[in-house]
């Protein structure tokens, strides 16, 4: 394709920049525009005015570049020079709601010393833009991508916070809720007012014919809220595609105007100082009759096109995929084949998350081991975000194929895990809550904080010191795995002080129907203060977690680029893997049972090796004899120098 005329138009558009600034943009254009254009042809090439569309898309990128602040331009250069900055072992993430954690955007800035005390370098603030009055799906119904929710602050506050965080070594991560807008977003209001151009921003249907046809193959995401995926709108007298809630209208990416407009919104966030953009509900952005409308090839094409355009206009920013789908599909958002590493640079790792909980429930690690042996590898420039829970529910998204290979029946196993984590299974230590039970297929997910799911809530209620100790060890075990497995560990803030489920959401009519609020409690700063009290419950969780973070940062072998070898051991209670980066190798061994375990060093290929040191306890371990692991023990074994 001849991009010359577009390039000339861009030069004219950038006339007020210095020649050096213009050259930087043009160099990036020359490098990435052919990709972007080729991708956009695939999606929009049939449009009559495609050439004009393409030009307006690149002009949007140029306009955003013109407005980019100097410090962000400097950051662009730094990240371009070190494009794998997200793979560093120094990376550690935290996530929180602005209001629940610190009241306001400004208040978050005041918590920087706390983030630093923990060692965070990545802060994901949950959606903080304007939302409709009433329910807003925790901010995931965005009424304007350009206005901070007035209860939380202003755009100026957000820009100031991004700068403040960056100056303190912390990258700001925000959501891009781009599958849908709120039903009171300006575009939706114009659609309601009869503007045909804006009606084409969404999927509207006059009767049930098409919705019925689509629903024949769709999955129900929030069946409690509405069965199926469509909502009738009285004003429009039409059915609207609403995958999630009735007030979240799916955007129509088959319309190039939507792509261009959303690029503009995305680049506005980049210019506010966002370094990692979490692409929310990424799997759902393309619809095609006869499919489940998830993970379609066009969704990948669109993200790749967005990515190429961000490389041109704001390359400091990378994409994080939020695809809570089959593990094969999760990986596909890193980009495949020649696109590997050029779609989303980082991604949640939901499989590790669910299989850590699965292993805690069953006390068996064979599913975790099997999956991680087969599925941990990703394109070398990409990074997993390893977490043990998020603001969302836990859905048992292991691959049925993996389960089958181990003679585990996926359906019944999920039923078992749901019973276990809601406390219905005899011997369960967990105090989780059901989320979105679907009577049609018995599907259900789980809500709960880390501490409550790991047994702390029940143990405290029972006043059982040993159970309290075991719960703490479970928390530290699975957190420790996320710290060492390779990738960015991500802590839901509040978990580091062992916050329990919070029932107060039940008295709020806007939240009562959504049990996920049980694990989104306000940060309990009085409790957090107890981290300074030696021997307190909070200190017993916080201090070891903080120490693991500090240790991790010093181990190149824990960076995302390090080699990973997961061991298939005979002992099914143990999860063990070796990380290696150049000279540095660390063996991680975790026990998922309350029974003491003994392991033969031969199984780990360690027989006859010299002394190792456990980085966590600081003690020397002699591998010439049997290794004993205490209940839920975790070892990070490094070869002793000399
Ligand atoms: C993502 C969010 C979830 C939200 C949904 C719809 O999955 O994590 O909280 O409900 O998208 O935006």
Contact by Cβ (8 Å): 587, 578: yes
In the chain, where are the structural domains located?
88-176+272-296+314-557, 180-250, 561-639
Distance 401 CA to ligand 1 centre (A): 26
What's the pLDDT at 612? 85
Distance 392 CA to ligand 1 centre (A): 7
- Pick the residue whose CA is nearest to atom 9 on ligand 1: 392
Contact by Cβ (8 Å): 200, 192: no
Can you tell me the distance from the alpha carbon of 125 to that of 176, in angstroms, rounded to the nearest whole number?
Answer: 11
- Give Cα 365 distance to the centre of its chain: 24
Point out the ligand 1 atom lying closest to the alpha carbon of residue 138.
9
Domain at 561-639, CATH homologous superfamily: Golgi alpha-mannosidase II (2.60.40.1180)
Distance 280 CA to ligand 1 centre (A): 7
Question: Which residue positions in the chain have pLDDT lower than 70?
Answer: 607-608, 640-642
Q: Which of 220, 322, 358, 495 is catalytic?
A: 322
What's the pLDDT at 642? 44
Which of 95, 143, 244 has most ligand 1 atoms within 8 Å of its beta carbon, as the pocket-test mutant? Answer: 244
Residue 48 annotated in active site: no
User: Rounded to the nearest 5 degrees, what angle is found at the Cα of 130, between the Cα atoms of 128 and 136?
Assistant: 85
What's the pLDDT at 1? 85
- Report the DSSP beta bridge partners of residue 457: none
Q: Under 8 Å CB-to-CB from 565, ≥6 apart: which residues? A: 577, 578, 580
Which of 392, 393, 492 has most ligand 1 atoms within 8 Å of its beta carbon, as the pocket-test mutant? Answer: 392
Pocket of ligand 1 (CB under 6 A): 137-138, 140, 177, 244, 280-281, 322, 391-392
- pLDDT tens per residue, range 166-194: 999 999 999 999 999 999 999 999 999 99
Point out the ligand 1 atom lying closest to the alpha carbon of residue 243.
6
Which of 140, 321, 395, 435 has most ligand 1 atoms within 8 Å of its beta carbon, as the pocket-test mutant? Answer: 140
Residue 280 annotated in active site: yes
What's the pLDDT at 641? 55
From the options 3.40.50.720, 3.30.2310.20, 3.90.400.10, 2.40.50.840, give the CATH code of 180-250: 3.90.400.10
- The Cβ-side half-sphere exposure at 283, using a 13 Å CA radius, reads 22
What's the pLDDT at 602? 80
Q: Is 574 helix (H, G, I), strand (E, B) or coil?
A: strand
Contact by Cβ (8 Å): 394, 353: yes
Q: Which fold has domain 88-176+272-296+314-557?
A: TIM Barrel (3.20.20)
Distance 241 CA to ligand 1 centre (A): 16
- Pick the residue whose CA is nearest to atom 7 on ligand 1: 281
């Amino acid at each position: 394709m001849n991009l010359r005329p577009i390039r000339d138009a861009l030069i004219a558009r950038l006339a007020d920049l210095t020649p050096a600034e213009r050259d930087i943009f043009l160099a990036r254009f020359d490098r990435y525009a052919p990709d972007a254009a080729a991708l956009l042809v695939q999606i929009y090439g049939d449009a009559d005015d495609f050439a004009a569309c393409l030009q307006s898309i690149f002009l949007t990128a140029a306009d955003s570049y013109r407005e980019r602040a100097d410090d962000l331009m400097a950051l662009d250069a730094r990240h371009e020079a070190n494009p794998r900055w997200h793979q560093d072992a120094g990376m550690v993430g935290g996530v929180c709601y602005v209001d629940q954690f610190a009241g306001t955007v400004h208040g978050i800035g005041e918590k920087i010393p706390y983030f630093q005390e923990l060692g965070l370098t990545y802060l994901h603030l949950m959606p903080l833009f304007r939302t409709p009055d009433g329910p807003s799906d925790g901010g995931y119904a965005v009424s304007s991508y350009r206005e901070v929710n007035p209860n939380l602050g202003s755009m100026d506050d957000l820009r100031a916070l991004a700068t403040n965080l960056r100056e303190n070594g912390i990258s700001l991560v925000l959501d891009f809720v781009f599958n849908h807008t709120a039903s009171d977003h300006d575009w939706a209001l114009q659609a309601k007012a009869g503007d045909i151009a804006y009606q084409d921003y969404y999927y509207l249907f006059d009767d049930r014919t098409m919705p019925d046809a689509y629903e024949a193959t769709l999955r129900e995401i929030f069946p409690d809220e509405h069965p199926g995926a469509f909502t009738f709108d009285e004003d429009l007298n039409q059915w609207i595609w609403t995958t999630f809630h009735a007030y979240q209208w799916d955007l129509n990416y088959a319309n190039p105007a939507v792509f261009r407009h959303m690029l503009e919104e995305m680049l506005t966030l980049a210019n506010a100082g966002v370094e990692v953009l979490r692409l929310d509900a990424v799997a759902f952005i393309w619809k095609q009759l006869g499919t489940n409308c998830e993970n379609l090839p066009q969704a990948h094409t669109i993200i790749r096109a967005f990515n190429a355009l961000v490389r041109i206009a704001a390359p400091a920013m990378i994409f994080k995929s939020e695809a809570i789908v089959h593990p094969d599909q999760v990986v596909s958002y890193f980009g495949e084949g020649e696109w590997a590493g050029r779609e989303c640079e980082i991604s949640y790792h939901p499989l590790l998350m669910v299989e850590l909980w699965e292993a805690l429930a069953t006390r068996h690690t064979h599913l975790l081991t099997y999956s991680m042996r087969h599925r941990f590898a990703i394109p070398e420039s990409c990074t997993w975000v390893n977490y043990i829970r998020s603001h969302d529910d836990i859905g048992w998204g292991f691959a049925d194929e993996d389960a089958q290979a181990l003679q585990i029946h996926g359906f019944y196993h999920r039923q078992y895990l749901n019973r276990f984590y809601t406390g219905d299974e005899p011997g369960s230590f967990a105090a989780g809550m059901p989320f979105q039970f679907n009577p049609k297929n018995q599907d259900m997910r789980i809500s709960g904080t880390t501490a409550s799911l790991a047994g702390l809530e029940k143990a405290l209620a029972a006043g059982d010191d040993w159970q309290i100790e075991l719960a703490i060890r479970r928390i530290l075990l699975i957190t420790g795995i996320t710290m060492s497995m390779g990738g960015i560990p991500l802590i839901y803030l509040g978990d580091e002080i062992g916050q329990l489920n919070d029932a107060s959401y039940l008295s709020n009519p806007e939240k009562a129907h959504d049990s996920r609020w049980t694990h989104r409690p306000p940060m309990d700063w009085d409790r957090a203060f107890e981290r300074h009290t030696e021997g307190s419950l909070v200190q017993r969780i916080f201090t070891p977690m903080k120490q693991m973070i500090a240790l991790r940062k010093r181990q190149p072998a824990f960076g995302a680029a390090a080699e990973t070898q997961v061991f298939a051991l005979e002992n099914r209670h143990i999860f063990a893997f070796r990380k290696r980066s150049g000279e540095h190798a660390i063996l991680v061994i975790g026990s998922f049972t309350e029974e003491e375990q003994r392991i033969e060093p031969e199984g780990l290929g360690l027989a006859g090796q010299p002394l190792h040191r456990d980085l966590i306890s600081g003690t020397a371990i002699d591998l010439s004899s049997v290794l004993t692991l205490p209940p839920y023990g975790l070892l990070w074994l490094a070869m002793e120098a000399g």
